[in-house]
Structure 1
Amino acid sequence: MKRGNEHSSSVALVLSSGGARGLAHIGVIHELVARGYRIRSIAGSSMGAVVGGLYAVGKLEEYENWIRGFDKLDILRMIDFTLSDEGFIKGERVFEQMRKLEMIPDIRIEELPIPYTAVAVDILRNRERVFSSGSLLHAIRASIAIPLVFTPVHEEGGILVDGGVLSPLPLDFVDKQKEDILVAVDLNAPIPYSPPSPPESEREHSMEAHLKGSPNQRIRSLLKKWDEMFGHRLPSKEKIGYFDLIMRSVQLMQHRLTTYALARTPPDVLIQISKDCATVFEFYRAEELIEYGRVVCAEALDRFEESQGRGGSV
């Protein structure tokens, strides 16, 4: 594997939607930077908008350190359920915590050191809502509003939902210059998942072993409910839950839209992350997913660099 500052090429980076699979974006960024590529611009939908925004504002390391410490109970504590007709999660608690930790400062997109674009969808106007200026926090919150799951964002007569509804891989919206290498990360690829390390961390094992004999029935019940609602165990063919039905439908739609986007705007480097590597809320698997993204990115860059070596230098 090639390492070090071998390249000075600039990259226009496009990060797709995909829930917790988006933690793989962090590993991709690590690998690009380790090889000396300069990320000149970023565009993202949903979790891609989150990771891209954190990188652009210089807070990705803080976010990574924070999320690596999460277990299932931490994720459950971050989910603020609501009885709203628009969705069953408000999504404000996690952003409030990130504000307290100063991960997402009160900054406007046009003040960021690199061009950044977040994509949401206005379902009343039937089009993408592209954020390349304005509040960074507002743009990210709108971009992650999965329909029927997170409550949408209301804005000037519009209702904004997850960018993945129309543009899961926003290749058309990145600020790409002629000399930039266009790198795209697809989190919804229909390929087998090969974990880079054991699929569950020692932290998770130790937590569940501790709770196994615990008298705290409520905690054990919460963990059981987690696995029923959000766990990565595949349901039987005869039975599929409400949440899994929504997510599988969204995933199928996003894969089809991604296929069209790639045909319309082929990237120089395509990094494919298996759709089966994680479900939308499995952020407690950060260590595994970040490393998975790095490994897959390394393989894709090796292929790209070898092809450039035959026809010229990168």
Structure 2
Amino acid sequence: MTVQTSSGPALVLGGGGVLGAFQAGFLKALFRTGFRPSMIVGTSAGARNAAFMAFRPDADGAAELARIWTSLRDRQLFFFNPMRAAVQLMSGGLCLSRNDMLRTLVERNVSVDNFAATAVPLYITTTNLARACKQVFHEGPVSRAVLASAAVPGIFCPIEIEGDLHIDGGVVANLDIETAVDLGATEIIAVDLSRCMDGRRPSNLASLLMQTLDVIQRQRVDHDVGALAARARITLLQPSPDGGFGLGDFHHVDRLLEEGERMGESALALCMGPDGRMKPGVIHDPLHLHEWPAHAA
């Protein structure tokens, strides 16, 4: 099976903490087909995956990305300490957790820390606090943009870039299909992780903050997809992996990678047309394709 890429599908990767491992599993299945995106747009956890794949946009790169996620399975993206959180809140701190591990992860796995060095165009979405708007980075250090895009408000400290503070891009565009369309993409494959925490009960302040952000993100994704489906051929994957994990808990990485790869293989079999192009619509789990009205047969 080979994905037809002459028209240059864009790849858009949304955020979702450890669910980025599910996304990485899907990318393994996708890139095994010979897929090569015309551009990659990433937000939050999707920004980390996007940055890596922009440097190595092939099957070997996707396999290495999965290995990186596997290496994190006994760690946590953030460490929530109630005592430290109380001190931070009382002293006027801007975050509950340090992002040292994330910084190290990004810096170690970005081969040349500059957007100009990527093999395919890379766009990283952040939220500019000073200007109260979305900002998309395409120049300068990749690691800085990725850290800013993944700076979950209240959990990770904002990242200062050129005098402005930036936080998680998911606040304004967790699945930034809009940027891909505005840049001229007419075919898009997008992975939306905003449906993955349905029905979960938050276990601490950090998970409450992340699930609150998740609700906001879902509303924006629904709005953007509805508005943009008529302007581009969008294939949207919306997985619902089995529960039992937190967005910052990496103990379930192996299972998420396996589920992502399995769903990717099934989705490709379901949605690949005879011309090698992906059918437009939303792929839900349990697996079925809901085509957009404008594209329905």
Task: Normalising by structure 2, report the TM-score.
Answer: 0.77
Query: Which amino acid in the other structure matches residue 90 of structure 1?
Result: R
Q: What's 1:273 paired with?
A: 239
Distance in 1 (CA, whole Å) between partners of 2:131 and 2:263 is: 37
Secondary structure of the residue aligned to 1:268 is strand
1:127 is displaced (CA, Å) by: 0.5
Q: Give the Cα separation in 1 of the matches to 2:182 and 2:124.
A: 15
Aligned match of 1:29 in 9, 17, 27? 27
1:33-71 deviation line (CA, Å, top 9, x unaligned): 122222221001001110010111226544432331344
Q: Retained in 2: the 8 A contact 1:80–1:90?
A: no
The number of equivalent residue pairs is 260
Q: How does 1:22-61 map to 2 (within 5 A)?
A: 22-58=20-56, 61=63
Task: Report whether the alignment pairs 1:185 with 2:216.
Answer: no
- SS of the residue corresponding to residue 269 of structure 1 reads strand
**Partner Cα separation in structure 1 for residue 262 and residue 102 of structure 2:** 28
- Unaligned stretches of 5+ residues in structure 1: 194-233
**Is the Cα contact below 8 Å between 1:47 and 1:144 reproduced in 2?**
yes
Say which SS state the counterpart of residue 76 (structure 2) adopts: helix
Gaps of 5+ in 2: 278-297
1:292 paired residue number: 259
Give the letter aligned to residue 120 of structure 1.
T
C-alpha distance in structure 2 between counterparts of 1:192 and 1:121, whole Å: 24
Deviations 1:174-214 (A, max 9, x none): 27887863101010126979xxxxxxxxxxxxxxxxxxxxx
Identify the residue that residue 66 of structure 1 maps to in structure 2. 68
RMSD in angstroms over aligned alpha carbons?
A: 2.9
Q: 1:301 to 1:180 in 2, by over 3 A?
A: farther
Structure number, greater radius of gyration: 1
Q: Say yes or no: does 1:86 pair with 2:88.
A: no
- Deviation, structure 1 residue 290: 1.5
Secondary structure at the counterpart of residue 194 of structure 2: strand
How many percent of aligned residue pairs carry the same amino acid?
A: 22
- Whether the 8 Å CA contact 1:41–1:176 is kept in 2: the answer is no
Shift, 1:145, TM fit: 0.2
Partner Cα distance (1:8, 1:171) in 2 = 18
1:264 aligns with: 227
Take 2:79 and 2:62, find their aligned partners in 1: how far apart are those partners? Answer: 21
Aligned residues of 1:13 and 1:183 also touching (Cα < 8 A): yes
Map of 1:1-314 to 2, 5 A cutoff?
3=1, 5=2, 7-9=4-6, 10-58=8-56, 61-72=63-74, 74-75=75-76, 79=79, 83=88, 85-96=93-104, 98-99=106-107, 102-174=108-180, 181-189=187-195, 234-235=200-201, 241-266=204-229, 267-274=233-240, 277=243, 278-305=245-272, 308-309=273-274, 314=277
Deviation of 1:115 after TM superposition, in Å, equals 0.5
**Local SS of the residue matching 2:104:** helix
